[in-house]
Homo-oligomer: A and B are copies of this chain.
Amino acid sequence: MLTDRQLLILRAIVDDYIKTAQPVGSRTLSKRSDVTFSSATIRNEMADLEEMGLIEKPHTSAGRIPSELGYRFYVDHLIRPESISPQEAKALKSLFAHSVNENDRLIRHTADLLSELTHYTTLVLGPKEEGQRLHHLELIPLAEGRVVIVLVTETGHVEHKTLQLAEALSREAASRLMERLNQTLRGTPLSQLRLRLLEEIRRFRSEHSEQTTLLSKALDIVLTDQHEERPLIYLGGKANMFDQPEFQDVAKLRPVLELIEQQEALFDFLSPSLDNQILITIGSENNVDALKDCSVIRAHYSVDGVSLGTLALIGPKRMDYNRGINSIIHLLQAFQTELRKNSLD
């Protein structure tokens, strides 16, 4: 167990290092107003903290920096919640200023806002398709056998696909089919939609002996495609990475920026996160080599208890956890409220 003084010193080291990115020496610490004891005492305590693995020195004659364990301890025990500033509160209000009807735009806006708030890079994982339920399906026949299929989920998410049939689909046929499909399929989870859609079309076809083979085939292809597409990832404040002193070296910067561009890898990395809690992973805890010098703060967002996606903040291990956590908490609130408005169930 740590003494109060050790806690004070550890916190001071982490705070200072987060602010300056420079190893913190005993003399520097002894000058702080909340430190009443001498630098020699601090050195002794530091030696103990180092033995416990909470801090380390880059080399013999440098000050101390927090180890990953140190950051972990800091995050778990030493963070003092800090309320947001008036400016930020105002910025949050601006998200509300005019409702954004499209979830896509809302998500993008949120990613940008969060990165503005924190000066870190932001990732927002769009809603997972599979979990969502169908609200409405629309078929729009165009010229030359081209059909646009519009799909609206209960969360208010709209997307469209264009498909090409060998023969034109008449407006009437489309209308009849559509009415039937909507009646029977509303509420179907998208994960099951493809199967049930095909089944339904087949049944419809036998009842009306209509020429819908082509349609069902095309739909099959399209919906398969769709299933393969993973949720979109929106990025905000990519350029913020450049400002971090630890990423002035291209060798350090490159893997992070490269990873960020790879939607798939990012998805795999961000996707599995539990609960509604905020999850913080530090350095090697990320289990991704490219992020071994980064920390990630994650939060799930959900509407009506249904988990939809992830909001994440990525920065150096030396990131301002306090600010990050606070920002993500507050934005999460606002964001979910807006999402709720767009939902259709």
Q: Mark A144-164, 1 if CB is under 8 A from B, else 0.
A: 101010101000101111111
- Does A135 lie at the interface of the complex (its beta carbon under 8 Å from any beta carbon of B)? yes
Tally chain A residues at the interface, Cβ within 8 Å. 36
Query: In the bound complex, how far is the Cα of B135 from the Cα of A261, in angstroms?
Result: 35
The residue in chain B whose Cβ has the minimal distance to the Cβ of A249 is B250
Per the 8 Å Cβ criterion, residues 176-211 of A in contact with B are none
The answer, among B146, B160, B248, for a CB contact under 8 Å with A150, is: B160
How many copies of the chain does the oligomer comprise?
2
Per the 8 Å Cβ criterion, residues 270-307 of A in contact with B are none
Q: A163 touching B258 by the CB < 8 A rule?
A: no
- Does A12 lie at the interface of the complex (its beta carbon under 8 Å from any beta carbon of B)? no
Instruction: Return chain B residues, CB-CB under 8 Å to A248.
Output: 250
Query: In the bound complex, how far is the Cα of B261 from the Cα of A258, in angstroms?
Result: 14
Q: B162 touching A158 by the CB < 8 A rule?
A: yes
Q: B162 touching A140 by the CB < 8 A rule?
A: no
Instruction: Return chain B residues, CB-CB under 8 Å to A238.
Output: 257, 261
Interfacial residues, chain A to chain B (CB-CB below 8 A) = 99, 101-102, 135-136, 138, 140, 142-144, 146, 148, 150, 152, 156, 158-164, 238-239, 242, 247-250, 253-254, 257-258, 261, 342, 344
